[in-house]
Chains A and B, each alone.
Chain A
Amino acid sequence: MFERRLYYHIDWAMLAGILALCAIGLAQIFSATGGFTRIYYTQIYGIVLGLFAMALCLTIDYRSLADKSHWIFLAVLLLLMYVLFFGVVRGGSRRWIDLGVVNLQPSEFAKAALALVLAKFFGDSRRGALRREDLAIAACITAVPLILVARQPDLGTAVTLIPVAFAIAYVAGMPMRIIGVLALAAVLVAPVAWKFALQDYQRGRISTFLDPAQDAKGAGYQQIQARITVGSGGPWGKGFTKGTQGQLRFLPVAHNDFIFSVLAEEQGFAGVLVTLGLYLFVILRALEAARLAKDRVGAYLVLGVLASFTFQVIYNVTMSAGLAPVKGLTLPLMSYGGSSMIATLAAFGLILNVRMRRFTN
């Protein structure tokens, strides 16, 4: 199955970028949590397991995966439903399946599963132009896991499913007119959603974002502290493990959601540029893989996987600088979290897979 020549077509440059980001993340986790802690080792296990998952996703031809995508998608949906009833509750939401040694977070895998099933759906469509019915079906396919995840509740992860659908639909030829209509609808629906769809604490977070000082002790606190953390880093940073904001816990969950703030504090603007550069490099390399993909399924799969990754990176980095409302979205490849790491690396396995097999039939 894994032919020897495929080995030469692996995008080693992108892989190097990914591993570099994992290493930077691991170093900042080390700094933020104070040394060789359980969290640090868990992250290492996460990376190792993730690399295995990546290898696994690499070996199986993405086309056979796409052919079985509906089964994979269904399996993930079942896991999500299982979580809703039997999941482990932490921090007020039910997101995890307790596997004894590790906790599995199925919502992380929902992104790749959705990308697979949508890539297959659009890619196998024989029609040249996209019909509205296709878009409606795609929307329904997306809505199922989205609602399940949102019910946990984990609005942050749920929202990352939307870029998956959009990116694939966009490249699959969604008419610009419909994009315009959807954008208009979003603007119109926003006030209604504000009033009815959001929980109080969510409204609070957003209004606090607009004026952090109004709740400097509560939700606005994290945002103010994030800006202070990043701003005080200066051009060269305070030095590894020398950051005061992260080390003295002025910033909550520094090893998780705010890992990038810790990086900015300790490594300064220089470290930020290097890391952002690596992310951009990885993203552009992935887009290159989509361009090079030998079929539409491959291109769409790459885009779908890449869309949630990119969305999360951009949102988390913006939030880390205190420029977006605080939302429990991790920074892929860097934040602490086993499931996220495994799922992300597995997803990159799919991207490498597509690029690697661009010449095969």
Chain B
Amino acid sequence: MAVTEDRRRITVRLTVLQVGAVMVFAMLGISFWLLQIVQHAKFEEMAENNHQRTLALRAPRGILYDRTGQVLVENRHSFTISIVREHTKDMDRTVQLLSAVAGLDPNDVKAIVARHRSEPTYRPIVVVEDASLAQVAAITARRLDFELPDVVVEEVPTRQYPALAAHLFGYVGEVNDAMVASDNTLRSGDIVGQSGLEKIYNGLLKGEDGAKVVVVNSLGREIRTLDEEPPTEGKRMQLTIDYDVQKAVEDGFKGLAADGIATAGAAVILDPSNGEVLAFTSQPAYDPNAFAAGIDRATWNSLMSDDERPLNDRAIQGRYSPGSTFKMAVALSALEEGVITPDFKVHCTGSANFYGNIFQCWKKGGHGTIDLRHAIEQSCNVFFYTVGNMVGVDKINKWATLLGIGVRSGIDLPNEITGLVPSTEWKRQRMHEKWYPGETISVAIGQGAVSVTPVSMAVYMATLANGGTRVTPHLVKAVDQNDGKGWVPVPTPAPQSKVDINPEKLQAIRDGLWLVVNGAGTGHNAQLKGYDVSGKTGTAQAISLKGGRGRTEKRFQDHGWFVFFAPRDHPQIAGAILAENGLHGANAAIVAKHVMEVFFAKKEGRPLPELKIRGVEGSGVPTDNPNSPPPVATQPPTPPPTVTEATVAAGTR
């Protein structure tokens, strides 16, 4: 009885277990069906994301050549050290260990990571650009120990700049958020041109990044490559720059610095026939390589706090009083407007009275009776006071503008500023005041509100040299579009304006300029036998609004201009050189002479001359050492004297 009951109970309960087992297994089957069939697509994608990485392969930027084919800016291989947060277990630990191994400041690393925190976690955050081999070795060793599984070392092409023309080339750096937002071709982390040619021609130079699809394991280690699309190198560009002329300009400035004459300044050298820029510099310079490799905070701070403002491109962003170099514009306006003839004469007694004020000539006792040619040669202020007064400010403005002063040159560089040549219209708009004829007197010798940029002065001389065509300075001669056609010349940009200047009248001015250099003028430092160098010095005193003026302190010393072209009758080169606080334009003429010597020597196939100035180093070739220090200012810091309002010119000669 009991046994039968027992049997029955066991049978019933076993059946319950049987049914239960079948049901549980059915549920398991349904679960797997849901995961593997219903949600398959979703999980397949997740699995793919797990083990496939698309890595960007940074494209090398286009190489820049000079007009003779010499390499100016190229690329080298460098290593970046990045954190891939996807594999990070403890960010603090990673930061501490990485900082210790690579010798970094943990706070810097944290700040970099914080800046990129909204990006996808698989995208590497570059912590060190251009890592040293010691850093790479240390990181690699730790990676092999699995201590830093979330740190990767990548080889990327990095810009390599020569130790010259820093402002011309500009520099590259990581794109900022605003740029990414406004340009959908850019992605966070891209390297783009930030200034100079790198910025203007970024679209041509940057190339197309490639991509590599790799299989990685759970530690992020690459197992194999699935697909690779190589990067396309940026377009190669041939610049109008002549390496040797550029080097001559920079050597000239180094010479001025070595002699204690000037540490700051700018120069623009043009082919007057078409506006091709042969050389372009702003001093002091910085080292663009420091930016290419990801500039560190200390270097950046020292650049930003340097009183000489090395980041400032004086050639297109510095406003200076032109001083006596303005006088040719006054002369031309008077000649072309028919106010005077080339033979017009003025009697200079050392000063003159206009509208009740006495205006001084620089020469006590005066120049006596003087004609246009000799007034330019001697830089007689009284002559130009008189002529300027006869022409009037608006005519001066008209002709100065036609020659290129007070307007943008149109050079293909970013952030060019415009100078100023005053007019009655300008004063009414700006100050709501009438123009007083007495104000014209100062304008006639390049003072008052007149301000110019070095590049506009170079255009000015080119226009005088070519007879009235205001050429557009430009920097690119040819581009290789990578389409197999090789170098394709870039058409010369149209001139900004063109006016036919009466050759006889122009010749009088050119004669005057020739006399400045080859006669009794102030430009004989630029004299070059057989080349009829024609030029003009200009000296503008820099007066701080706060301090008075004085000659004891360097920063209150005069700026020296030398503007020139050569040869006088068939000019092949024109330019403007400014030596900030350089005392006198004659000092700038030293640089000009060297530049022209090199230019003509190269043109005629002669050996290039060396600049004979104490302390000049001969080397400006691209170095293999990317970390070579930027040119060091040897002078005590001077405040930026480039703002018109802060700088008043007086007593030019």
Which of B2, B11, B37, B218 is A291 in contact with, Cβ under 8 Å? Answer: B11
Q: B226 CB to closest chain A CB, in angstroms?
A: 11
User: When the two chains form their complex, are residues B18 and A244 in contact, meaning their CB atoms are under 8 A apart?
Assistant: no
User: When the two chains form their complex, are residues A290 and B40 in contact, meaning their CB atoms are under 8 A apart?
Assistant: no
Say whether, besides A249-B218, A296-B10, A244 and B43 are in contact (CB < 8 Å). Answer: no
Residues in chain A near residue B223, CB distance under 8 A? 248
For the complex, give the distance between the alpha carbons of A134 and B24 in Å. Answer: 30
- Contact mask for chain A residues 163-181; partner B; CB cutoff 8 A; 1 contact, 0 none: 0000100110100000000
Q: B270 CB to closest chain A CB, in angstroms?
A: 62
Residues in chain B near residue A115, CB distance under 8 A? none
Residues in chain A near residue B24, CB distance under 8 A? 314
User: When the two chains form their complex, are residues A284 and B18 in contact, meaning their CB atoms are under 8 A apart?
Assistant: yes
User: When the two chains form their complex, are residues A269 and B37 in contact, meaning their CB atoms are under 8 A apart?
Assistant: yes
Q: A34 CB to closest chain B CB, in angstroms?
A: 12
Which of A228, A244, A287 is B21 in contact with, Cβ under 8 Å? Answer: A287
Binds A, one of B27-35, B131-139, B427-435, B516-524: B27-35
Residues in chain B near residue A170, CB distance under 8 A? 13, 17
Say whether, besides A231-B44, A235-B37, A283-B21, A128 and B215 are in contact (CB < 8 Å). Answer: no
User: When the two chains form their complex, are residues A321 and B50 in contact, meaning their CB atoms are under 8 A apart?
Assistant: no
Does A317 belong to the interface (CB within 8 Å)? yes
For the complex, give the distance between the alpha carbons of A265 and B530 in Å. Answer: 87
User: When the two chains form their complex, are residues A321 and B5 in contact, meaning their CB atoms are under 8 A apart?
Assistant: no
Does A327 belong to the interface (CB within 8 Å)? no
Residues in chain B near residue A227, CB distance under 8 A? 35, 43
Say whether, besides A250-B218, A280-B21, A128 and B37 are in contact (CB < 8 Å). Answer: no
Does B216 belong to the interface (CB within 8 Å)? yes
- Contact mask for chain B residues 33-65; partner A; CB cutoff 8 A; 1 contact, 0 none: 101110110111011101100000000000000
Does B22 belong to the interface (CB within 8 Å)? yes
Does B570 belong to the interface (CB within 8 Å)? no
Residues in chain B near residue A279, CB distance under 8 A? 25
Q: Is the interface of A mostly helix, strand, loop or mixed?
A: helix
Does A102 belong to the interface (CB within 8 Å)? no
For the complex, give the distance between the alpha carbons of A266 and B2 in Å. Answer: 53
User: When the two chains form their complex, are residues B31 and A323 in contact, meaning their CB atoms are under 8 A apart?
Assistant: yes
Residues in chain A near residue B35, CB distance under 8 A? 227, 230-231, 321-322
User: When the two chains form their complex, are residues B40 and A299 in contact, meaning their CB atoms are under 8 A apart?
Assistant: no
User: When the two chains form their complex, are residues A171 and B14 in contact, meaning their CB atoms are under 8 A apart?
Assistant: yes
User: When the two chains form their complex, are residues B28 and A317 in contact, meaning their CB atoms are under 8 A apart?
Assistant: yes
Say whether, besides A171-B10, A230-B43, A287-B14, A250 and B50 are in contact (CB < 8 Å). Answer: yes
Does B398 belong to the interface (CB within 8 Å)? no
Q: What residue of chain B has the Cβ atom nearest to residue A277's Cβ?
A: B25
Residues in chain B near residue A269, CB distance under 8 A? 32-33, 36-37
Does B9 belong to the interface (CB within 8 Å)? yes
Does A318 belong to the interface (CB within 8 Å)? yes
Does A26 belong to the interface (CB within 8 Å)? no
User: When the two chains form their complex, are residues B46 and A291 in contact, meaning their CB atoms are under 8 A apart?
Assistant: no
Does A157 belong to the interface (CB within 8 Å)? no
Q: Is the interface of B mostly helix, strand, loop or mixed?
A: helix
For the complex, give the distance between the alpha carbons of A317 and B24 in Å. Answer: 11
User: When the two chains form their complex, are residues B36 and A268 in contact, meaning their CB atoms are under 8 A apart?
Assistant: yes
Q: B90 CB to closest chain A CB, in angstroms?
A: 9
Q: What residue of chain B has the Cβ atom nearest to residue A268's Cβ?
A: B36
Does B498 belong to the interface (CB within 8 Å)? no
Residues in chain B near residue A283, CB distance under 8 A? 21
Q: A216 CB to closest chain B CB, in angstroms?
A: 10
- Contact mask for chain A residues 239-257; partner B; CB cutoff 8 A; 1 contact, 0 none: 0000011001110000000
For the complex, give the distance between the alpha carbons of A284 and B24 in Å. Answer: 12
Q: What residue of chain A has the Cβ atom nearest to residue B16's Cβ?
A: A170
Does A233 belong to the interface (CB within 8 Å)? yes
Residues in chain B near residue A24, CB distance under 8 A? none
Which of B25, B39, B89 is A276 in contact with, Cβ under 8 Å? Answer: B25
Which of A173, A232, A276, A310 is B47 in contact with, Cβ under 8 Å? Answer: A232
Q: What residue of chain A has the Cβ atom nearest to residue B88's Cβ?
A: A217
For the complex, give the distance between the alpha carbons of A322 and B37 in Å. Answer: 16
Does B369 belong to the interface (CB within 8 Å)? no
For the complex, give the distance between the alpha carbons of A185 and B14 in Å. Answer: 25
Residues in chain A near residue B28, CB distance under 8 A? 276, 314, 317-318, 321
Which residues of A approach B to under 8 Å, CB–CB?
Answer: 128, 167, 170-171, 173, 217, 225, 227-235, 244-245, 248-250, 264, 268-269, 272-273, 276, 279-280, 283-284, 287, 290-291, 296, 299, 303, 310, 314, 317-318, 321-323
The 5 closest A-B pairs by CB, nearest first: A231-B43, A232-B47, A248-B217, A128-B2, A269-B36
Pull 21 A–B residue pairs with CB atoms less than 8 Å apart, ordered by A: A128-B5, A167-B17, A227-B35, A228-B47, A230-B32, A231-B43, A234-B44, A235-B36, A235-B37, A244-B50, A245-B47, A245-B51, A248-B216, A250-B217, A264-B36, A268-B36, A276-B29, A284-B22, A287-B21, A299-B10, A310-B21
